[in-house]
Homo-oligomer: A and B are copies of this chain.
């Protein structure tokens, strides 16, 4: 069977995760991709968000264009937890091929909405079944035949509005926003919503406990995904050249980059742009363009995923060694190899840290939320130009493609840092410069930008052995001196990269170390653990190499759990080498099934170790 399906993580029983009936449950809409359910799902999400209810969404879609199963999971959490939860209380079963398995996974006491047309045997007595004539409603909508599957999705929106008590005006408002105010489209869709509401009201008796209530917990917040946030950050970071090659789940970052740049960085009248975005022929070329542009003085970036990253290996090593600034986003997806392009993971950490042959090492940033996606979007350029090196931003599909609540973004708190660039005037004053000399003792040399109008500006960039004057050399002493300086620069980077975020709890006996998208699940896990009497302190890494704070944190607790979403426990391995004295104190809490980690699984895993 070619069926695509999603199973929950390991069966955990110690930690219960029972939702209450109000503003605290998970809705799953099981549909078929390409059928247009995205509009329905996003409108639902937005309406709940606008009602002030903390929400988060996980879109589990197949690596195909049309016809395969898709699940859209909306979690409502009165407490504001936005990590994934692996239960489902409200199921909208619109995909016949997965319905049986989908229904089998609904929590006892949950509800299931199914199309009346299926004539389903309602064989779980612990569930409330509600059947809705979805196809009939679509037909009645007046939409022409090819649009019907699309508007049919609105029928379940209507049913949910009625059954859960969603504010129908917020649905209409969401549709208005979705269709950019195009009344005709809104009316067509909203008509179905209203018909479904009426049908439900007239024909269905609610027997489940789930409902929503207006709240004030999302006031002032925005709803965005990490790829858009990162792209926005890059636009505010003054990117000037982007080169890329399409790949899921990174494509939408560059799409958003194009949209925001067009909006903010193009002259409406002349069409003139203060940036260039080029779709390359592959990822080797994409990074080649970025390196060429960075060398020539642009703020240059690319965005990719695993397979593309593999192809970038050679140029990444070159840029690190020849000291060319570049920003490389890696929106991690499940690997090895082609893996699962539409599933999330944190499986590229080890590879990126050492990306390149012959003793290469890199600087990496790990955003954990929308604000950091935005912030690292601009800050990565400052770092790359300051350190004259590629800076990798490791996001993942969960951050990048799912919608998250966030505080509005903060405008960059300092002017652009273009790093140690010498102008013609400075060169004249200095009487020249040595490209790879460590003038300031921080390992970072000075550079000039091609086109600098001075006979003293030129230097020769190469990936082969060079001395401080950028001349070719095969001398052992010069080689060693240059590598030693590069090493010093890598050490210096520890003082420039974002420090970890710490949450230390008095009396904690256990440290949790993690990074990236696991943050929300960890917050939840920690409260679950606290409720069992296990107090934890938490260090969230935001960069590699590690900083001094990390070493201090290690010293404070006898046991540390390194939580991550990959099979090889990659960050734990790196941390063992960063702090060998504590290597034996680090226990990995890692798994990798394509789905974001859940708070419950993390708490359970730590609990098992701690007792």
Q: Which residues of B contact A356 (CB under 8 A)?
A: 310, 335-337, 351
A566 on the B face (CB < 8 A)? yes
C-alpha gap A593/B480 in the complex (Å): 6
* 10 extra interface residue pairs, beta carbon distance < 8 Å, beyond A4-B474, A310-B357, A337-B357: A3-B475, A9-B476, A311-B313, A318-B336, A335-B356, A336-B360, A339-B463, A351-B357, A476-B594, A576-B576
A592 near B359: Cβ-Cβ < 8 Å: yes
Q: This chain: how many copies in the complex?
A: 2
Residues of A bordering B, CB below 8 Å? 2-9, 62-63, 306-307, 309-311, 313-314, 317-318, 320-322, 332-343, 345, 347-348, 350-351, 354, 356-361, 462-465, 471-477, 479-480, 483, 487, 566-568, 570, 573, 576-577, 580-581, 583-584, 586, 591-595
Q: Which residues of B contact A2 (CB under 8 A)?
A: 471-473
Interface pairs (7), CB distance under 8 Å: A4-B475, A322-B337, A334-B358, A342-B474, A351-B354, A483-B567, A583-B584
Q: Which residues of B contact A336 (CB under 8 A)?
A: 317-318, 320-321, 356-360, 463
A483 near B317: Cβ-Cβ < 8 Å: no
Q: Which residues of B contact A567 (CB under 8 A)?
A: 359, 483, 487
Q: Which residues of B contact A3 (CB under 8 A)?
A: 475
A568 near B337: Cβ-Cβ < 8 Å: no
Shortest beta-carbon distance, A119 to chain B, in Å? 28
Please name the residue on chain B nearest to A101 by beta carbon.
Answer: B475
A464 near B357: Cβ-Cβ < 8 Å: no
Q: Which residues of B contact A570 (CB under 8 A)?
A: 359
Shortest beta-carbon distance, A587 to chain B, in Å? 10
Within 8 Å by CB of A309, from B307, B322, B357, B471, lies B357
Q: Which residues of B contact A334 (CB under 8 A)?
A: 358, 465, 479
A592 near B357: Cβ-Cβ < 8 Å: no
A475 near B6: Cβ-Cβ < 8 Å: yes
C-alpha gap A309/B360 in the complex (Å): 13
Q: Which residues of B contact A487 (CB under 8 A)?
A: 567
Within 8 Å by CB of A477, from B7, B318, B573, B581, lies B7
C-alpha gap A336/B465 in the complex (Å): 9
Within 8 Å by CB of A474, from B63, B465, B477, lies B63
A337 near B351: Cβ-Cβ < 8 Å: no
Please name the residue on chain B nearest to A481 by beta carbon.
Answer: B593
Please name the residue on chain B nearest to A567 by beta carbon.
Answer: B359
Please name the residue on chain B nearest to A581 by beta carbon.
Answer: B584
Shortest beta-carbon distance, A1 to chain B, in Å? 8
C-alpha gap A577/B353 in the complex (Å): 15
Shortest beta-carbon distance, A67 to chain B, in Å? 14
Asked, given contacts A357-B335, A358-B335, whether A584 binds B580 with beta carbons under 8 Å apart, the answer is yes
Shortest beta-carbon distance, A227 to chain B, in Å? 18
Q: What are the 3 tightest A-B residue pairs by CB atom distance, in nearest-first order?
A: A335-B358, A337-B463, A583-B583
Please name the residue on chain B nearest to A595 by beta carbon.
Answer: B476
C-alpha gap A607/B576 in the complex (Å): 26
C-alpha gap A9/B595 in the complex (Å): 51
A340 near B465: Cβ-Cβ < 8 Å: yes
A474 near B580: Cβ-Cβ < 8 Å: no
Q: Which residues of B contact A479 (CB under 8 A)?
A: 334, 340, 343, 593-594
A340 near B593: Cβ-Cβ < 8 Å: no
C-alpha gap A472/B311 in the complex (Å): 24
